[in-house]
Amino acid sequence: MMDDNRLVLLRTRHKGKTKEFLAPVSNAPHHSEFGVTDLSVLLEDENLDAVTSHMGQEFSVVSPRSPDFFRHSKRTGAPMIPKDIGLIMAHAGVCSSDNVLEAGTGSGSLAIYLGFVAKRVLSYEVREEFTKVARNNIEKAGLSNVEVRCGDLVEALPSLSEEFDVIILDMGGSEKAVSGCFEKLKKGGFLVTYSPFLEQAAQIREEIDKLDFFDCRTYECFEREISFSSRGTRPSTIPVGHTGYLTFARK
């Protein structure tokens, strides 16, 4: 028998809609609207790809990925959403050898995405209650390379002895941390800031312009899902519009 602390994603269809549940693999039964499902069988056979509840509802069993943790993890506020996370990953070139510093952990959504890609992630969150939730979400994702510290990054920067490949700021007063982040950034590394308002983005740009960054650009990203129906094909009437402004500065 395997000693398994992993989570699995249970997927099924009901009345034409997909239903999903993140569930721990253990001897404890999983309860849902479809009845009780025995997941202890997954301890015996990790390759089992389907289970059935006592009510006869069949679930496919898959290993969860970053988007699954984004949808199903406990939230403490509005997280950075995948369209912006994707822009960060692409423009900063986050890769498996990177040492990443993040501030503004929230519920840990960005930290989880980063943790599946980067070598190490160190994240700061000023609110203790958010820190606890983020740590729990990260633990459920099975990530041992992500560390969440409760504290103010601006105050913590002078005591950090290491350098980082990428530093990401998603917090109020990010402009106050720009100069300290410059000192902790490796040559060729990226500072990335997320700003909900143009005024904050402008303040950050002012601080960046005082330093010897090689390049600086600010982007806004929009996303529209395409809807398919018998009547025709068109953009969804519920688009994901403005979320924030992302500024990338390279040392």
CATH number of the domain to which 17 belongs: 3.10.330.20
- Asked whether residue 206 is domain-assigned, the answer is yes
Q: Strands 146-150, 120-125: parallel, antiparallel or unpaired by DSSP?
A: parallel
**Nearest-angstrom CA–CA distance, 36 and 166:** 45
Q: Strands 164-169, 226-229: parallel, antiparallel or unpaired by DSSP?
A: unpaired
Residues paired with residue 246 on neighbouring β-strands, in sequence order: 194, 219
- Mean predicted confidence (pLDDT) in 33-54: 89
Using the predicted structure, report yes or no on whether residue 137 has a pLDDT greater than 60.
yes
Asked whether residue 38 falls in the same domain as residue 126, the answer is: no
The CA radius of gyration of the chain, in Å to the nearest whole number, is 21
Element (H or E) spanning 58, and its range? strand 58-62
pLDDT in tens, 143-184: 999 999 999 999 999 999 999 999 999 999 999 999 999 999
CATH number of the domain to which 100 belongs: 3.40.50.150
Using the predicted structure, report yes or no on whether residue 1 has a pLDDT greater than 80.
no
Sign of CA dihedral 154, 155, 158, 161: negative
pLDDT on residue 207: 98
3-state secondary structure (DSSP) of residue 93: coil
**pTM, full prediction:** 0.89
